[in-house]
A and B are shown apart, each in its own frame.
Chain A
Amino acid sequence: MTETALEFRNVTKSFDGVPVVKEISFRVGACSIYGLVGCNGAGKTTLLKMAAGIYKPDRGSVLADGEDVFDNAAVRGRLFFVPDDLYFPLGATVRSMARFYADYYPAFQEKTLQNILNLFGLDSKKPLRGFSKGMQRQAEIALGLSTHPKYLLLDETFDGLDPQKREFVRKLLLEYAAENDASILIASHNLPELANLCDHIGLVNGKRLTMDCDVNDVSRDYIKVRAVFGAPLSTEQLDAIHAASRKDEGVSATFVFHGNYETERPKLDALAPLAVDEFALTLEEIFLSEMEDKDYDVTKIFES
C-alpha cells in the first residue's frame, strides 16, 4: 500500500446500545481506491459517515493524514461525502447546489463541474428533484468531484446508473484519484464494479472487518477445486481436507481453499480422485465464501 491517507483505528460504533461495527481497523492509501463490501446492515455506511466526520466513533478514531476527522474543519474541507440519500432542497438545481457547495468547499471548481456535466449530459438549470435517481447521482458525483476533495467518500455510487454511466463514473474516479493523488473510499454491493475499480477491498461481516486485501492478491489466495471420485466419500474422509468451504455432490465435491491449497492437495490426492479441476474465484464468490451464514437450503421453503 502507498502512503496512508485515511486510517480507521479500532473503530467501534453502537446505535442505542446495539453495536454496528466493532474494532475495525484498516487504511486507505493516497492515490488509492478502497472498496468496502458487506451484506446489508454490515456497517459500511456507518464507517463512511465516521470517515466523513458525521458520526463520532464510540471508541477508536478515524484519521486523515494523521488528524482526527471528527469536528475537524480543516480535514473536512478537503473531504466530500456522496451519500446514498442525496440532499437536494426544494427547487434546487445543479447551479444552485454548485453555489451551495462553493460556499463550503473553497476548492470548488466551476470548470470541473461543467466538464463532468457535459460528459453526463445534464442540464444545470433544471430542478434536481425532476431528475431520475441515476441522474441525481450523476449530478452529485459531478458536484463532489468539483470540490476537488482529497478524500472522496462514496456510498452506493453505482446504484441507478446505466452501464454507460457506470463506466464513465469508473473512469472518472480512476482518473481523479490518479490525477489528484486522492483517496477514495467506496461502499457498494456491486462487486464486479469494485473489482474493476478498487485496488483494495475490505469485507465487513459480523460487525468486523473480516477481509482487507489487495484486489490483485485476493485472486491468488483463493482457489476453487472440483474433485470427482469413484464412489461417494464419507464425511470423515472429506473433513480431513481443511477447506474454506466445501460442497458435497455425491461422487464429486467442490472445495474453496484460502491460502492452504498447497498443503491440502496431498490429502486430496490421497483420496484417489478420478479428476481434479482448479478454478480462479471471482470477487463475488470470494465474498460469499467469507460470509458466515452460507448454504441456505431454500428448496423446502415453498413445499406444501
Chain B
Amino acid sequence: MTSQRFSSRKPARRDFLRALGEAFPFALLVALPLIWKLPFETSLFLRSSETASVHSAFGLFVEGDVFLVTACLVAAGVLLALRLFAFCFRKNSVNVFFSAGLLRKTLYRNRVLAGLLALAAAILVPLSVDLAMNVASFGGSAYVFKTFLYLVAALFAVALSGFSIGVLVSTVSGHLIEAAAATGLITAVPQLIVSLLGLVDRFMLKGNALENVVTGTDNKLRMLCSLLSPYGFLDSLGGEDGEAALTVGRVIDKGCELSFTRSLVLPVCVWFVLGAGLLVAGAVLFRRRKVENAGSVGLFALPGNVIGTAAFLFVALLLSEYIVYSYDVTFESYDELYVFERLFYHNAAAIGLCLALAGAAVFCLVQFVVRRNVKRFLKTLPVAGCLVLFTVLAVLSGPTGHYGAYNRLPAHDAIQSVSFHNVESTGVFTTEFLPDYSGEFYAFESDADSDVQLAEDLFTLLHDAKPYDGKSERTVCGVSFRLKDGTQVARTFTICDRETQEAFARKLFDSEYMDRYLQRRFLAAAEAAGSAPPESGSDNYNEQELRDYLNIFYTAGDWYLLGGDGLFNGCRVSDGVAGTLTVDPDKVTVVDDKRGLFEALCADYSAISYDEVYTPADRPLAILTCEENVETAYSADRVFAPDGVAEEAAGGSGAGHGDTGTCGREKRFDLTPQMTHTLAFLKTHGYTPSPYDGKVKSAFVTTEKLSLSGACGMIDGTWQSGYDETVFDAFWKFPEGLVSAAFVYSDSLLPFNDEGRMKPDAPMTTRLDLLKTVYSDAGSPLEEITDPKAASALYARSFPFYDTYGDDGRYLYVVFDDSTLVSAYLPASAATIS
C-alpha cells in the first residue's frame, strides 16, 4: 500500500519518472537494430581471422543495411512517441491525466524529455560497446572517435525524426491507430515523393530500360531525400563522395572521414533543427489540444486520401522497378540474351497490364470498403483511371524504355563526362584495346568536348544500326554518359551488322579518347611495372581491382619477346581462329626495361591507325607477351605429343572470353613493322626479333566457306569454335569445356577417358590427323594442298585472324617442315586455290 511519503513528492517529478519508466522498455526497440548491426556483428567480424587485420571501425554498420536500420530507428522513434502519448487516445486516461495537478506543458515536457533520454541511451550504449571493441582491437585514433560521434549524432537525428513526428501527430490525433497510420505515412511521404521523382527521373526521363542502366540518383533528389526523408537520411552515406565510406575498413581513413563528415553534417543539422521545431510545435499544439477528440478518428481524413494515393503510386512504381530489376537479373544469369530478350518484351507488357488492372481493382475495393457509398465510390473512379494510366506508363516505360527515353540522347549541356564500353562480342572483333565493361565500372571517363561529341556520334551510330535479330553474331557495346546531376546513363546496344560494329570500333580506336585511354593504360602499367601485386584483402586491393577494370597491362612478372616459331605458336586469339600459346622456353627473350617498353608501346598505339592494328598488311615481326600467358601454357595438362615434338596444350581453357589471353584481357602485342617506337626501343636494348625460317611443306583448307552455322575448328587438340549444332551443344553443356566437347563428339577417335583426360594406353594421334578426322566427320573434309609452292602462296595470302577480314573465307592449316602447324584465315577474295 502506498505510504505517506509518496504523497510528499512533487507531481511533476513523479510524472517524469513515470514517463521514463514507460520510455525505456520501448527504447529497446531502438537499441535492438543497433545491437544487431554493431556490437554483435562487430564481434563476429573481429573473430574472423581473414578480416581481423582490416581496420573496421563501424564499417559493418555503414557498409550495408543502412536503409533497414534507418527504418527501424524511425519506426522505433515513432512507437516510443505513441507509447508516451498513448494517454491522449483514450477518454478514460484523458480524464485522469488532464485533470491531474499538472500543467499540460509539464505533461508534454516530461514525456518528450523521457523519450529523448531513452533514445540517447538506446543509441549510446550499443555504439559505445562497439567503440570499445574497435578501440580494443585496433587502438584508438581521432578518426575512430570522430566516427563514433558522427554516428551517434546521425543515428540520434534519425530516431529524433521519427520521435518528433510521432509526438507532433500525437498532440493532435485522437486515436492510436489513426496516429500510427498518420505518422507512418507522414514519415514516408518525403521518401515517397523523392522516390517517385527518382523513379520518374530514371524510368521516364532517362530511360532506365533494357540494356539502359541508369545508376546513381540525381544529386538534388539525393540531397532532398536526405534533408526531408527520415528514411532516406543515412542514404547520404552512400552519396557521391560516400562511396569509400561504404567500404569496410575505409571509414576511419582520413580521406573517407572527410566525405563521411561532409555527407552527414547537413542532414544531421537539418534534422536536429527540424526535430526541435516539430517538438516545439507539438508543445504549442498540445497546450491547445482539444481532448474531446480522444478515441475518435477522422482528423486526417483529407491528408489520408492524399497520402494513400501517393502510397499507391509509389507501390505501382516500385513494382515496375522490381520487374526491371528481376528481368535484369535474368539477363545477367544467361548468356543467351536474345532468347530472353524476346520473351521479356511480351512478358513485361502483360505483367504491366495485369499489375495496373490489379492495382486499380485493389484501389476500387479499398475505396468502396472505406466509403460504403456507391455515389462517393463512383467519384473515385477517375482517380483509379489515372492510377491505371500512370501504372501502365510507368511499367511500360521501365522495362521497354518507351516514350523516347531509350532513344534519347542526353542533352549536350547536361553531360559531364563520357565513356565507352564493349560488353561482349560473339567473334566479330578482337577487343583487347577497347574499353572493357563490367558492372558499374566504366573504363575511362573523359570530359573533353571532343569525346562528348564522339559519344554523341557513336550513340547515333549504334541507335541507327540494324536491330538485333537474335540469330547472327552480335556485339554488345555502348556509350555511357555521366550527367552533371550525378546520375550515370549507360546506353547499351546489341548490334549485329558488321558495318556498324566495325565503324564503332574504328571511330573509337582512331579517336583522341582512345589515345588518352591507351596512355592511361600503358602509363599506369609502366608505373605498376616492377612492383609486387597487391594481395587480396590488403589496402591496395581495391586499387588492383580498379586497374583490372581499367584493363591495364599490368603484370608483376616478366614480359617476353617471342620470335621464330614462337610467332606461330602464339596466334592471336579470336573466336574464329585461335591458337593457344605454346612457348619453348629456350626461344623467349625476357624484356627487362618494362617501363620503357610500355612507353614505347603507348607511343606506337597512339600513332598507328585502326587498320594498321586490326588489318595489318604485314605479318608480325615478333610477339610480346607476359609471363602469365607463358605460365598458363606450361602449367596445363599434357595432351599431345605430335611428331615427337614436346608440346603442351592448355587443356580445357578454351578460347572463351574472360580467360587470360582472350579479348578484353589480352596481354600480348603483335609487333608489326609500323610499330617503330617499340621496335626501336627493343633494338636499343639489344632485342632483335628473329624471323622464322621454316619452310611450308603442305596446307589444308576447309572445303566450304566459313559460316557461323556450320564450321568448326580444332586447334592444338581443343575445340576453338563449334558452330555445328552437335558440337555447339556439347561445348556448353560440359564444364570441362572443349576437351570434353571433343570427347562427346567422337570418343572413338580421341585418346581420352571419361574424365576428358588422355588414356594412358591410348594410341597417340597427331594434331593434324585429329583435324582431318573432325572435319571429315563434320561432313566437310579438309582439302589438302601438297604442293609446297601452292601452299606457301596460300599462306602468303592468309591472315592470322579473321574477324576484321570478313566471315566468308576459309580456314587454312599450314604445316612447316619442322612439323609446326599454324592456323590462319583466308578471306573470300584470297581463297582461290590455284
Contacts and interface: CB of A to CB of B under 8 A. Distances in A.
A98 B2 contact: yes
A83 B814 CA distance: 108
Interface in A76-112: 76-81, 83, 85-87, 95, 98-99, 102-110
Nearest to A69: B99
B11 A105 contact: yes
Contacts of B100: 76-77, 104-105
A99 B2 contact: yes
A102 B13 CA distance: 12
Interface in A59-84: 71-74, 76-81, 83
Contact of A85 (B8, B14, B91): B91
Interface in B1-28: 1-4, 6-11, 14-15, 18
Nearest to B94: A54
A44 interface: no
B641 interface: no
A52 B90 CA distance: 17
A58 to B, nearest CB: 10
A259 B653 CA distance: 119
B221 interface: no
Contacts of A95: 1-2
Given A52-B99, A54-B291, A87 B93 contact: yes
A54 B96 CA distance: 9
Interface residues of A, number: 36
A4 interface: no
B683 to A, nearest CB: 95
B95 A54 contact: yes
B2 A107 contact: no
A49 B91 CA distance: 11
Contact of B292 (A55, A78, A110): A55
Contacts of A74: 101
B542 interface: no
Contact of B6 (A55, A72, A81, A102): A102
B146 interface: no
Interface in B57-89: none
Contacts of B95: 49, 52, 54, 81, 83, 85, 87
Contacts of A102: 2, 6-7
B15 A103 contact: yes
A55 B15 CA distance: 21
A113 B96 CA distance: 18
Interface stretch (B102-110, B151-159, B350-358, B524-532): B102-110
B1 A104 contact: no
Given A49-B95, A85-B92, A107 B7 contact: yes
A100 B100 CA distance: 11
Contact of A106 (B8, B90, B96, B99): B8
Contact of B14 (A54, A103, A107): A103
Contacts of B412: none
Nearest to B289: A56
A108 to B, nearest CB: 4
A56 to B, nearest CB: 8
A302 interface: no
Interface string A107-140: 1111001100000000010000000000000000
Given A49-B95, A53-B98, 11 more contacts: A71-B287, A87-B92, A95-B1, A103-B6, A103-B18, A104-B11, A104-B15, A106-B10, A106-B11, A107-B7, A108-B7
Interface of B: 1-4, 6-11, 14-15, 18, 90-96, 98-104, 106, 287, 290-292
Sorted from nearest, which 9 A-B pairs have the closest CB atoms?
Answer: A77-B101, A103-B14, A87-B92, A52-B99, A102-B6, A98-B2, A104-B100, A108-B7, A83-B95
24 contacts: A49-B95, A49-B99, A52-B95, A52-B99, A53-B98, A54-B99, A54-B291, A55-B291, A71-B103, A71-B104, A72-B103, A76-B99, A77-B101, A79-B101, A85-B91, A85-B92, A86-B92, A102-B2, A102-B6, A103-B6, A103-B9, A104-B102, A107-B7, A108-B6
